[in-house]
Amino acid sequence: MNQIFEFILQPWPWYVAGPLIGLTVPTLLLIGNKSFGISSSLRHVCAACIPANIPFFKYDWKKEIWNLVFVAGVFLGGLIATHFLENPNDFVLSEATIADLKALGIKDFSGLMPADLFSIETLFSVKGLLFFVFGGFLVGFGTRYAGGCTSGHAIMGLSNLQLPSLLATCCFMVGGFTMTHLIMPYIFKLF
């Protein structure tokens, strides 16, 4: 029993975690012809909570209650992992990544999310407004424009051999690389 608990506490290699994520797709399809994705849950919540006459939210959201339960499970799993299954080892980054982040002004590498970016002071600053509010708007807009989020397209859509999902995933990757290597360094220099 102790060995199982030790295994759960360790970071899992890609060849274990990847197939487990990939098996989500056929499982959902076999259980009830459901498609994997997270962003649609926000639409379901809005349809359930906002009794407005907005055509986008006028549908039978109760048929998609499984998606809300799935998202609640993701949230609960995150809480359990954070509070009970925390890895006692230090977070490991490559030296090249640390050098790149230090060049951008990020110096605290004590956790999964750098405190230089994810702190109360940063949240209520111009940088925080740009990163979290404007960045969140862009992510939401892109998700709606692409007809789904990265998990829906990259995991579900690609496994179903859907060309729109391939195009969306390629655009997500190009956008991420562009932001990381071309735009973000200038944003950090401004603030």
pLDDT digits (tens, 9 = 90+) for 19-59: 888 888 888 888 888 877 788 888 888 888 887 788 888 88
Name the band, by pLDDT with cuts 50, 70 and 90, for residue 73.
very high
Note whether residue 78 is domain-resident. Answer: no
CA dist 146 and 154 (Å) reads 12
CA dist 150 and 74 (Å) reads 16
54-58, 111-115, 144-148, 181-185: least confidently modelled range: 111-115
Q: Residue 4: its pLDDT value, please?
A: 74
> 87 with 10: CB under 8 angstroms?
yes
Q: Residue 163: its pLDDT value, please?
A: 93
Total domains in the chain come to 1
Q: Which DSSP string corresponds to 3-42?
A: HHHHHHHSPPPHHHHHHHHHTHHHHHHHHHS----STHHH
Average pLDDT for the chain: 83
Note whether residue 72 is domain-resident. Answer: no
> 67 with 48: CB under 8 angstroms?
no
Q: Residue 106: its pLDDT value, please?
A: 83
In this prediction, residues 98-115 reach a mean pLDDT of 81
SS3 call for 89: coil
CA dist 9 and 3 (Å) reads 10
Note whether residue 110 is domain-resident. Answer: no
**pTM check: above 0.75:** no
Tokens of 67: 């998606």
Note whether residue 59 is domain-resident. Answer: no
Is the dihedral angle over the CA atoms 13, 19, 21, 27 positive or is it negative?
negative
Structural domain harbouring 182:
119-191
Note whether residue 130 is domain-resident. Answer: yes
Note whether residue 184 is domain-resident. Answer: yes
